[in-house]
């Protein structure tokens, strides 16, 4: 069965950086767009970033644009989310997901999900 496994979360001070990884298995990587979502306590899951299957088109939420970058390594079947200049409002569980839509911007467009990795931004 398809597996998506996130890693790289942790505790970081405001202004710091983290790189999340999402290792994908049993899925034809080039057929799926990939995305990152996050969910803070008491809030709904929200879109963060998306990348189309070819890896040449990306899209970001306004709250992270200019600070986060999504990328993929086809040889490693891994998707990354580089997060810079982190803020306390970025604290959440971060999920990676796969979609057959292409460039999915909504959670309901994604069919496969990882279990998430916690990111905490605090002094």
The closest alpha carbon to 19, from 11, 10, 8, belongs to: 8
Rounded CA gap, 90 and 111, in Å?
24
**Residue 30, helix vs strand vs coil:** helix
* 25 contacts: CB under 8 Å, gap ≥ 6: 2, 3, 5, 77
pLDDT at 48: 98
H or E segment and range at residue 18:
strand 18-25
Q: What is the pLDDT of residue 89?
A: 96
Given a cut of 50, the residues of the chain with pLDDT beneath it are none
């Amino acid at each position: 069965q398809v597996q998506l496994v996130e890693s790289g979360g942790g505790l970081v001070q405001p202004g710091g950086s983290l790189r999340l990884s999402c290792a994908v298995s049993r899925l034809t990587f080039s057929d799926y767009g990939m995305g990152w979502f996050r969910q803070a306590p008491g809030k709904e899951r929200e879109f963060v970033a998306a990348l189309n299957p070819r890896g040449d088109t990306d899209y970001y939420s306004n709250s992270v644009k200019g600070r986060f970058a999504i990328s993929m390594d086809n040889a490693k079947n891994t998707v990354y989310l580089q997060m810079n200049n982190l803020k306390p409002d970025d604290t959440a569980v971060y999920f990676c997901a796969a979609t057959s839509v292409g460039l999915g911007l909504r959670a309901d467009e994604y069919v496969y999900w990882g279990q998430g990795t916690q990111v905490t931004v605090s002094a």
